[in-house]
């Protein structure tokens, strides 16, 4: 598999440009006479026609066999060599083209185009000698720039040599006299340097396109571990200097490089078409026509020179098919065209490729390591080739959708990576829903406890005038039962999609209702203590007893909590938010409390009320049995405080909907604890032991 310049006839296209030369104006320069003796028989000159306008051609189609000089005898001139038919065909094509031009335009123009052909045998010295011969033969001294009086013969371009060194040497000579040079074969990048060769024009594609094509071909087959072979001359060095950066940019590693010495430069892609100097004015005028040459060939391809004087027809990709009898055939399997639209600059027909029989029609493998699959990224170890890498699986939240990815790409915030790390999946919204099992269980518990509380309240209402109900302060009991019911029901605010209203209300309502409940218990405890003290003779506590004290205790305890909640809502109110980072595969829909400090202040105040109630009830637990409700209050406050103390670490150690579950459980457990510890023993007496709920029994105790 190799690249070859588009061979659609650059030499024939060059001859079309020759037609421009007939329209150059006649020179008005008068030459000075001088004597310049030139040999009449020029070695290597094959054809000469004396006429009006001369076109020179320099070719290297004979490979002279150099003899090894031993310096023991006088060196002999090598005259034998091998004819290279392909290059000789170029010379014949030139001769035929000139013949056709003369036949078709002679009737329109009163002039004749003739041809001088020279054979250089791949020798720079011969090329220099022949160029000077074309410039100054029978025209005077080349050194003194003196020319004989102008003859009837004018000078036109030279169709030139094959090797790049010959072309460069010709360019140096012709640039001295500002003679334009047109090449249909030389493609050395140095010839595109307009500072060194301002009068050089090339009909050969830009070699940079060939480098890009090589890289594209390697990437197409996934080859990244290759060897480079180049000639040990300047062209080989230029090739290595240009191709290596492009390989490194595309992560293609060079396993080894080898320079091979050539016995003879036989690059078949190098020909030169040079303008022959007759008079400087004519050649200078020729530059304008060359720079503005633009036409379409028979294949409808547009032909023109770019700003560097280069011609860019593209490259063909050839497959060298070797047969069993060691014969071979070139098969075009693709093309590189820099002027084609994106996506069509590189075309390759893999079905037309015939691989070596050892590969059994399977493309060969040229990699240091196997490719990293999707979901992995390359990791290059220090000191190793970039192609010899390790594969590392992409971390959570990152993916790679191609093989040999340099790095893993991060998924969007609302997506997460799958197990294979090759696809981003949408995250599911996570919140405590009424439809999920956990939501159903909590909802059932809320309904159960609420129903239980209603039954307790109904029991007290049906036995409203019994001694045990009267002894528990019926007004406070009604407020306490109502607040406990609301505590159960406020748990519904924590279930379902967190909205703006629910986020604002749920913590404030919960804390306010709980403060009322605990304040009621504190008021009951204070009333128990004051009632006992009031029974002692001479005690002044009797005047404090009454409904005013109860109401004041409840209102004051709950009012402070209400003030705290109002400050919270004003300073930093809670709001709904989407937490996309806490969980890998979920978006947590939650209420941001706005200010965590205010949330813990609210809980601390509830803890303060419960602690005061517990202390007061604890000291009142040994009062006479008639007033033994303090024991129940002590136990209920102990349960309440234990639950909310354990709530804080559990709440902080969970995320998402499980934080809500912990809080709902704490609300239900603490409320159920108050209900069970304070009211269930009384219900037991009212329902199962009604004989204990009598005035005589209470008095006896």
Residues 547 and 666 in one domain: yes
200: nearest Cα among 94, 275, 109: 275
What pLDDT, on the 0 to 100 scale, is given for residue 537? 58
Give the mean pLDDT of 609-627: 76
Instruction: Report helix, strand or coil for 489.
Output: helix
Averaged pLDDT of the chain: 77
Asked if 623 contacts 528 with a C-beta cutoff of 8 angstroms, the reply is: yes
> What is the per-residue pLDDT for 192?
76
Same-domain check for residues 298 and 169? yes
- Which tens digits make up the pLDDT trace of 552-607? 888 998 999 999 999 999 999 999 999 888 888 899 999 999 988 999 999 999 99
pLDDT tier for residue 701 given thresholds of 50, 70 and 90? low
Strand (E) or helix (H) holding 164: helix 164-176
In terms of pLDDT, which residue wins out, 272 or 406? 406
Could you tell me if 56 and 278 are in contact, meaning their C-beta atoms sit under 8 angstroms apart? no
615 and 690 co-located in one domain: yes
Q: In this structure, are residues 29 and 283 in contact, taking their beta carbons and an 8 Å threshold?
A: no
- Rounded CA gap, 320 and 328, in Å? 7
Contacts of 87 (CB under 8 A, 6+ apart): 59, 60, 61, 162, 268
Give the pLDDT confidence score for residue 126 in this predicted structure: 85
pLDDT in tens, 475-527: 888 999 999 999 999 999 999 999 999 999 999 999 999 999 999 988 888 87
Reported as a single tens digit per residue, the pLDDT across 250-298 is 888 888 888 887 554 443 333 333 333 333 344 444 555 555 666 666 6
385 lies in the same domain as 533: no
* Residue 37 covered by a domain: no
Q: What percent of the chain has pLDDT over 90?
A: 24
Q: What angle do CA 465, 542, 674 make, to 5 degrees?
A: 50
- 47-50-56 Cα angle (round to 5): 50
pLDDT at position 12 is 46
Same structural domain, 400 and 475: no
Strand arrangement, sheet containing 428-430 = 428-430, 586-592, 575-579
Secondary structure of 346-397 in HEC code, one letter for each residue: EEECHHHCCCCHHHCCCCCCCCCCCCCCCCEEEEECCCCCCCCEEEEECCCC
Question: Domain range spanning residue 103?
Answer: 1-13+52-63+81-140+152-204+278-313
Q: 23 or 692: whose pLDDT is higher?
A: 692
The pLDDT of residue 616 is 84
Question: With contact defined as beta carbons under 8 Å apart, do 187 and 269 qualify?
Answer: yes
Q: Residue 608's domain is classified under what CATH number?
A: 1.20.1070.10
Q: Is the pLDDT of residue 189 over 90?
A: no
Q: How confident is the model at residue 67 (pLDDT cuts 50, 70, 90)?
A: low
Q: What number of other Cβ atoms are within 10 A of residue 241's Cβ? A: 11
Q: What local confidence, expressed as pLDDT, does residue 567 receive?
A: 95
Q: Is residue 188 part of a domain?
A: yes
158 - beta bridge partners? 56, 274
**With 0-12 CB in 10 A as exposed, 13-18 as middle and 19+ as buried, what is 458?**
exposed
Q: Helix or strand or coil: residue 328?
A: strand
How would you write 197-248 as a 3-class SS string?
A: CCCEEECCCCHHHHHHHHHHHHHHHCCCEEEEEEECCHHHHHHHHHHHHHHH
Residue 100, pLDDT > 60, answer yes
Mean pLDDT within 617-627 = 67
The whole-number pLDDT of residue 123 equals 83
pLDDT of 698 higher than 70: no
pLDDT band at 169 (very low <50, low <70, confident <90, very high): confident
Higher pLDDT, 276 or 179: 179
Q: 320 Cβ partners below 8 Å, 6+ apart?
A: 1, 2, 328, 329, 330
pLDDT score, position 281 = 40
Helix (H/G/I), strand (E/B), else coil: 117? strand
Contact between residue 397 and residue 417 where contact means Cβ atoms under 8 Å apart: yes
The DSSP H or E segment spanning 166 is helix 164-176
DSSP symbol at 113: E
Number of domains observed in the structure of the chain: 3
- The two three-digit tokens of residue 540, written as one number: 């002044």
Q: Report yes or no on 209 lying in a domain.
A: no
CA distance 582 to 14: 72
Q: Is residue 244 part of a domain?
A: no
pTM, two decimals, is: 0.56
Q: Which of 287, 313, 339 corresponds to the end of one domain?
A: 313
Asked if 290 and 421 sit in the same domain, the reply is no
Of the ranges 345-349, 411-415, 691-695, the best mean pLDDT one? 411-415
12 Cβ neighbours under 8 A, 6+ residues apart = 93, 97
Query: What's the pLDDT score for residue 531?
Result: 65
Over residues 47-62, the mean pLDDT reads 68
Residue 575 makes CB contacts below 8 A (sequence gap 6+) with: 500, 503, 504, 591, 592, 594
Closest to 52 in 3D by CA, of 152, 148, 147, 138: 152
Please tell me the total number of residues recorded for the chain in this structure.
Answer: 701
Q: Which residue do the tokens 């197409």 mark? A: 220
Residues 413 and 551 in one domain: no
504 inside domain: yes
Give CA angle at 555 (553, 559), nearest 5°.
120
User: Are 445 and 422 part of one and the same domain?
Assistant: no
- 679 and 538, same domain (yes or no): yes
CA distances to 27, 511, 635, 691, 693 from 5, rounded to whole Å, are 38, 85, 99, 117, 115
252 in helix, strand or coil? coil
Number of C-alpha atoms within 13 angstroms, CB side, residue 516? 19
Instruction: Give me the mean pLDDT over the 358-374 stretch.
Output: 78
State whether 285 and 400 are in the same domain. Answer: no
- Domain of 93, CATH number, reads 3.40.50.2300
Per-residue pLDDT reduced to its tens digit, 647-670: 989 988 888 889 999 999 999 999
Query: Using CA atoms, how far apart are residues 396 and 393, in angstroms rounded to an integer?
Result: 9
Residue 266 placed within a domain: no
Is 89 inside a domain boundary?
A: yes
CA distance 427 to 659: 20
At 204-237, the pLDDT tens digits run 766 777 888 888 888 888 888 888 888 887 778 8
Phi, psi of 461 (to 5 degrees): -65, -40
- For the cut 50, the answer to whether the pLDDT of residue 627 exceeds it is no
Beta-strand pair 273-275/181-183:
antiparallel
Name the 3-class secondary structure at 548. Answer: helix
Cα distance from N-terminal residue to C-terminal residue, the chain: 113
**Is there a contact between 375 and 421 (Cβ–Cβ < 8 Å)?**
yes
Residues 444 and 421 in one domain: no
Alpha-carbon separation of residue 313 from 11, 228, 274, 307 (angstroms):
13, 26, 20, 15
pLDDT bin (cut points 50, 70, 90) of residue 24 is very low
Q: Domain for residue 422, yes or no?
A: yes
- Predicted pLDDT at 157: 63
CA distances from 216 to 128, 154, 249, 549 (A): 39, 48, 12, 93
Cβ–Cβ under 8 Å, residues 280 and 178: yes
Q: Does residue 511 share a domain with residue 420?
A: no
> What is the token pair recorded at 597?
């400090």
């Amino acid at each position: 598999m190799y690249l070859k310049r588009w061979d659609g006839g650059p030499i024939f296209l060059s001859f079309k440009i020759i037609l421009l030369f007939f329209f150059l104006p006649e020179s008005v320069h008068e030459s000075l006479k001088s004597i310049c003796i030139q040999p009449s028989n020029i070695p290597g000159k094959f054809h000469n026609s004396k006429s009006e306008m001369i076109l020179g051609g320099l070719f290297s189609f004979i490979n002279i066999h150099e003899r090894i000089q031993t310096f023991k005898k006088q060196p002999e001139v090598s005259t034998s060599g091998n004819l290279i038919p392909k290059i000789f065909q170029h010379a014949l094509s030139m001769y035929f083209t000139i013949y056709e031009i003369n036949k078709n335009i002679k009737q329109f123009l009163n002039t004749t185009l003739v041809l001088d052909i020279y054979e250089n045998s791949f020798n720079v010295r011969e090329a220099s000698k022949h160029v000077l011969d074309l410039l100054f033969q029978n025209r005077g001294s080349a050194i003194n720039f003196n020319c004989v009086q102008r003859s009837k013969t004018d000078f036109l371009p030279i169709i030139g040599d094959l090797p790049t060194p010959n072309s460069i040497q010709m360019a140096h000579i012709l640039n001295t006299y500002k003679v334009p040079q047109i090449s249909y074969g030389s493609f050395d990048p140095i010839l595109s340097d307009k500072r060194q060769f301002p009068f050089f024009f090339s009909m050969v594609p830009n070699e940079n396109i060939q480098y890009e094509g090589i890289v594209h071909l390697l990437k197409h087959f996934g080859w990244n571990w290759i060897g480079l072979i180049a000639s040990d001359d300047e062209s080989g060095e230029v090739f290595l200097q240009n191709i290596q950066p492009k390989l490194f940019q595309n992560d293609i590693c060079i396993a080894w490089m080898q320079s091979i010495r050539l016995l003879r430069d036989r690059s078949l892609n190098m020909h030169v078409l040079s303008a022959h100097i007759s008079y400087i004015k004519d050649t200078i005028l020729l530059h304008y026509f060359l720079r503005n040459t633009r036409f379409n060939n028979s294949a409808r391809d547009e032909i023109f020179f770019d700003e560097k004087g280069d011609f860019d027809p593209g490259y063909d990709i050839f497959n060298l098919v070797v047969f069993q009898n060691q014969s071979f055939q070139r098969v075009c399997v693709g093309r590189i065209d820099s002027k084609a639209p994106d996506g069509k600059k590189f075309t390759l027909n893999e079905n037309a490729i015939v691989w070596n029989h050892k590969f059994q029609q399977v493309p060969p493998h040229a990699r240091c390591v196997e490719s990293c699959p999707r979901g992995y990224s390359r990791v290059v170890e220090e000191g190793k080739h970039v192609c010899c890498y390790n594969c590392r699986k992409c971390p959570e939240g990152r993916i790679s959708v191609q093989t040999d990815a340099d790095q893993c790409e991060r998924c969007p915030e609302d997506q997460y990576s799958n197990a294979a790390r090759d696809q981003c999946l949408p995250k599911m919204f996570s919140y405590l829903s009424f439809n999920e099992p956990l939501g159903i269980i909590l909802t059932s518990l809320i309904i159960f406890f609420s129903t239980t509380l209603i039954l307790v309240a109904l029991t007290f209402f049906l036995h409203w005038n019994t001694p045990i109900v009267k002894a528990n302060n019926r007004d406070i009991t009604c407020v306490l039962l109502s607040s406990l019911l609301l505590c159960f029901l406020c748990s519904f605010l924590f279930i379902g999609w967190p909205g703006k209203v629910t986020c604002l209300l749920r913590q404030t309502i919960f804390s306010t209702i709980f403060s009322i409940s605990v304040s009621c218990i504190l008021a009951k405890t204070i009333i128990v203590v004051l009632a006992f003290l009031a029974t002692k003779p001479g005690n002044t506590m009797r005047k404090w007893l009454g409904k005013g004290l109860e109401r004041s205790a409840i209102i004051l305890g709950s009012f402070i909590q209400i003030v705290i909640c109002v400050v919270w809502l004003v300073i930093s109110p809670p709001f709904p938010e989407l937490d996309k980072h806490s969980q890998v595969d979920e978006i947590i829909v939650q209420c941001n409390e706005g200010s965590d400090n205010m949330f813990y202040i609210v809980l601390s105040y509830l803890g303060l009320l419960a602690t005061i109630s517990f202390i007061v009830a604890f000291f009142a637990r040994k009062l006479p049995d008639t007033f033994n409700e303090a024991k129940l209050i002590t136990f209920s406050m102990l349960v309440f405080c234990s639950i909310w103390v354990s709530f804080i670490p559990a709440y902080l150690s969970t995320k998402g909907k499980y934080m809500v579950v912990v809080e709902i459980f704490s609300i239900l457990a603490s409320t159920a604890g108050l209900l069970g510890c304070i009211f269930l023993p009384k219900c037991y007496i009212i329902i199962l032991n009604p004989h204990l709920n009598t005035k005589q029994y209470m008095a006896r105790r």
